[in-house]
Amino acid sequence: MIKHLALIMDGNRRWAKTQGFLNVASGHEEGSKTIERVVEFALAHGIKFVSLYTWSLENFNRPEYEKRFLFEMLERKADGFIEKFVKQDVRICFRGDAGFFPKNLIPVIKRLEDETRECKTLELNFLFCYGAQQEIVAAARELARKTKAGVLDPEGIDDHTIRQELWMAGTPDPDLIIRTGGKTRLSNFLLYQSAYSEIYFLDCFWPELTEQHLDKCVKKFETAQQNFGR
């Protein structure tokens, strides 16, 4: 049974090009519909956590018009997300380096999180301004500060104490990671948490991801042998 499904949403821009859109950012608009399909799938299958690689720290190197389009899209869709997800009992969480959150989006992010805080059926994590290597570095720095201050004994540092300092603290490791877009790499996504995750790579672009794709991945996961090194 899958408790946590994580997805790398790759292929929005390439999908837009295949559809003949002059503005490749239009793929992100179509891709937002896939998010709703994934949420509906998770709810139907009793999945408690969904994590979406929404915006990496490396994505800040993209063209200004694309960044502006994406951030404005989040602002524009916020109220609709709140209305829909509250009805579905879905809690929204943003995970990443809050120091990089665009200032105009901070009130939007706070509203999305506050308005859905009491929802309990599904936790939907938007990994935003996120990078797994940076997450681990940030955790190491915090542990070093606590050690230096005498709050933490270096001998007491273990997997549990590290996890407490990660941006994904409180969320179980993903059972299954799915990446769309045909690329076969994790691209700095949940590196610490993916040690025992099943990882499936799909050739379809993110806007093309269907319930059938997800169902096939889940069934494949359920038949995979999970021995965790034993």
pLDDT of residue 65: 87
**Nearest by Cα to 92 from 54, 135, 61:** 54
Residues 6+ away with beta carbon under 8 Å from 162: 139, 143, 192
Boundaries of every domain in the chain? 4-131+174-223
Closest alpha carbon to 25 in 67, 56, 58, 57: 67
Tens-digit pLDDT string for the chain (230 aa): 899 999 999 999 999 999 988 777 889 999 999 999 999 999 999 999 999 999 999 999 998 988 999 999 999 999 999 999 999 999 999 999 999 999 999 999 999 999 999 999 999 999 999 999 999 999 999 999 999 999 999 999 999 999 999 999 999 999 999 999 999 999 999 999 999 999 999 999 999 999 999 999 999 999 886 555 55
Active-site residue among 10, 12, 125, 175? Answer: 10
Is 175 designated active site? no
Q: 56: closest CA among 67, 69, 65?
A: 67
Which residue in the list 12, 23, 59, 173 is annotated as catalytic?
59
The gap between the terminal CA atoms of the chain, to the nearest Å, is 19
> Does the annotation count 10 as an active-site position?
yes
Q: What is the pTM of this model?
A: 0.94
Cα 196 to Cα 158, 173, 189: the distances in Å are 18, 8, 14
119 Cβ contact list (under 8 Å, min separation 6): 85, 86, 88, 89, 90, 91
Spatial neighbors of 205 by CB under 8 A, at least 6 apart, are 10, 11, 12, 14, 15, 18, 27, 180, 181
Between the alpha carbon of residue 50 and those of residues 76, 86, 90, 219, the distances in Å are: 22, 16, 10, 17
Class of domain 4-131+174-223: alpha beta
